[in-house]
Amino acid sequence: MTCIFSVSWIVTLSLIYNGSKNSCILITIRWCYFLCFTSALQDRDNKFLTKSVEEAYKAVECGDGHPFGAVVRNDAVVVSCHNTVLRNPNLTAHAEINAISEACQKLNQNYLADYEIYACCEPCPMSLVAIQLSKIKRLVYGAKAEAAVAIGFDPSIADAPNQKSELEIKKADGAVAVTAEQVFENARGKFLMS
Ligand SMILES: [Zn+2]
């Protein structure tokens, strides 16, 4: 709908400027194209981020682990995983690590340069390094790591050194980010901290 709305702006503003300043038409078209593009990107990010939130709840509900989920995708979802530190047990079985491992196995390759990862929460240092090593091109996350720290997770998970990476990192905003933050309050006390 936002895209249609933007296209209507192209027509409207083009009519206003038509015959007087062709450059204004071009600027308007470019502006509306930008709006369409960013809107489509936002819709796509929300869709895959919501799936990572669903995985976070699944981790707690089935007793596999802690409330974290991650999705690896290109045009479609390649893998959708959650934290499984309690299942094996294995403290390295974070959602992002599981997602990268499963994606590499499924695709039979070590690097994921053409792929993006969506994490319901800001990745910890270990997971962020794994994302960087995999050469994933883009990371989108919902909740700040402090939201997990607030319900008892080790504060070190909020120390991911993401400034030195060429990886594109986006912190989601809006309703989907609030939904991701709520994971931790809703999961409080429903899993073991080990
Ligand atoms: Zn992690």
| Res. 192 pLDDT band, cuts 50 70 90 | confident
Assigned superfamily of 29-187 = Cytidine Deaminase, domain 2 (3.40.140.10)
Task: Report the length, in residues, of the chain.
Answer: 194
Active-site residue, selected from the candidate residues 54, 55, 61, 96: 96
Judged against a pLDDT cut of 90, whether residue 38 lies above it is answered with no
Give the pLDDT score at 39. 79
Judge whether 116 counts as a catalytic residue: no
pLDDT digits (tens, 9 = 90+) for 149-165: 999 999 999 887 655 57
Pairwise CA distance, residues 66 & 187, whole Å: 8
58-110: pLDDT as tens digits: 999 999 999 999 999 998 889 999 999 999 889 999 999 999 999 999 999 99
- Residue 93 CA to ligand 1 centre (angstroms): 8
Domain locations along the chain: 29-187
pTM: 0.80
**pLDDT tens digits for range 79-93:** 999 999 999 889 999
